[in-house]
Chains A and B, each alone.
Chain A
């Protein structure tokens, strides 16, 4: 089932709005991880607006699809998407990182409706997602579990423990999406710990794998609405993304894993995103 073009425009508009919100959140808080947040915005927007079976009025609805942000440092994008989707007031985004806020710099479930699990240390999320998926299978529930991973956290042994487990237990209600933006904390993935041949690794571990452009709204939706790709196998979506996507001077730059846009940089970034409206 294809996405009609009108929806694509809507999703794109939401994605641009989310990027603006993320930019302002990270600017105001003088915090890091704008590149990591921007690379996953399009994936999150499509997930929360066309894929996940959720109800913002009932964040604890037992049959909801689960979403685990395993790359907890990309939480600014998740917070903005959740607020856009009505899980909590948009004004809360202004408190990101602030004293007394509900929104810390890594995803937290504690005071925030819609955040399933708290993350921040890499390599934890996929295991928790496996547990949710296995519980659904055993209880005969139809909900799916989506986990968004960074490429860097695929260095973690625990990630591969979960990858092994999921296929052994035929968890076809589990979908791992890797935000493969090719840059990790201290360098390019291929220079730090090369993951290639990445898709082949997941396939050889028993997953059904698809590689997509993680910024192509249509392709994202067409892919994520077709899960499971194969009955009896967990699905892996390797989303080829660009770190810092959306602001030209941030794109594909390691610097923007850390740097917080201030002064003219902030103004220039904002102007670029305004122009995309």
Chain B
């Protein structure tokens, strides 16, 4: 995903000199072409995320379209007040990009796992929150946030995620993408767990249970229409995210459902159950450990639907 992001941003920046990339001394090997070819549109702010974010706001208020870039929680939580007061309150044209959403940095440990970021960024007024599900969505999301005039949080995976979409889906901020239709339940996934959710849906299909599979790359503003249609059309809604179950995609979907007059028969949030991902291992191992791989997702679906 980060390759899809940086290649797309590089293309956009060559066409629009207002686009500026500020990194927090991270992106070795990834940002190098951008840095070398567009030095006037690049800044390394050093290991100083508070200043990086304030800088971004000052540049955005001077007419730039600014992307800040770092990993995991560094561009969000480390400088949360700058994000709130400076980026969001000024409605500044700043895009905060985090690589390593969820547990992508695996064995690096919980300091490098972003597992509450969606909830926290979602709570900030003016902030658009986007977590693409595969490299195809990451490319489209990069263009979409660059075009959006205002604060965005772009939460990426790391690298090497499988492509879920075989061709470009229609991508609009605030709109779900229907990966496939089905009437027995709706699975809504965000971020790079999309592939695992699709694999779980495949396993269900082999048993004759057909899930509507929605990718929800934009968590805020949420596609409430897609959520309500799912509640009307299918008896169960299950959300899937590599994030705490508190306040993320699942929380956002639950909020919409509880305030509507349509409720699914069954509802379940799949994610980290208000815990730190403190076991040691790579992303695949951690997903398995916290029941967030296809197998774990499938088991939770089965128990939610009373299939076991």
The residues of A with any CB-CB pair to B shorter than 8 Å are 109, 116-121, 123-136, 138-139, 145, 157-158, 161-162, 164-165, 168
Q: Is B59 an interface residue (CB 8 A)?
A: yes
User: Does the CB pair B63–A165 fall under 8 Å?
Assistant: no
- CB < 8 Å neighbour of B51 from A116, A135, A158: A158
Bound-complex Cα distance A127 to B62 (A): 13
Q: Is B124 an interface residue (CB 8 A)?
A: no
The residues of B with any CB-CB pair to A shorter than 8 Å are 40, 43, 45-46, 48, 50-51, 53-64, 81-82, 85-86, 89-90
- CB < 8 Å neighbour of B55 from A109, A120, A121, A130: A130
Bound-complex Cα distance A141 to B60 (A): 15
Bound-complex Cα distance A138 to B64 (A): 11
User: Does the CB pair B40–A127 fall under 8 Å?
Assistant: no
User: Does the CB pair A132–B58 fall under 8 Å?
Assistant: yes
Bound-complex Cα distance A136 to B61 (A): 11
Given contacts A121-B81, A124-B85, A128-B86, A162 and B61 within 8 Å (CB-CB): no
Q: Please, which residues of chain A bring their CB within 8 A of the CB of B56?
A: 131
27 sample A-B contacts, Cβ–Cβ < 8 Å, listed by A number: A118-B89, A121-B81, A124-B82, A125-B54, A127-B50, A127-B51, A127-B53, A127-B57, A127-B82, A128-B55, A129-B58, A130-B54, A130-B55, A130-B58, A131-B56, A131-B57, A131-B59, A131-B62, A133-B58, A134-B59, A135-B62, A136-B62, A158-B50, A162-B51, A162-B54, A162-B55, A164-B48
Given contacts A109-B90, A118-B89, A165-B45, A131 and B81 within 8 Å (CB-CB): no
The B contact surface, by secondary structure, is helix
The A contact surface, by secondary structure, is helix
User: Does the CB pair B85–A127 fall under 8 Å?
Assistant: no
Q: Please, which residues of chain A bring their CB within 8 A of the CB of B46?
A: 161, 164-165, 168
Bound-complex Cα distance A133 to B82 (A): 18
Bound-complex Cα distance A194 to B57 (A): 30
Nearest CB to that of A132 among chain B residues?
B58
Bound-complex Cα distance A158 to B49 (A): 9
Bound-complex Cα distance A124 to B86 (A): 8
Tell me the minimal C-beta distance from B35 to chain A in angstroms.
15
Bound-complex Cα distance A133 to B60 (A): 12
User: Does the CB pair B50–A116 fall under 8 Å?
Assistant: no
Given contacts A161-B48, A164-B48, A117 and B55 within 8 Å (CB-CB): no
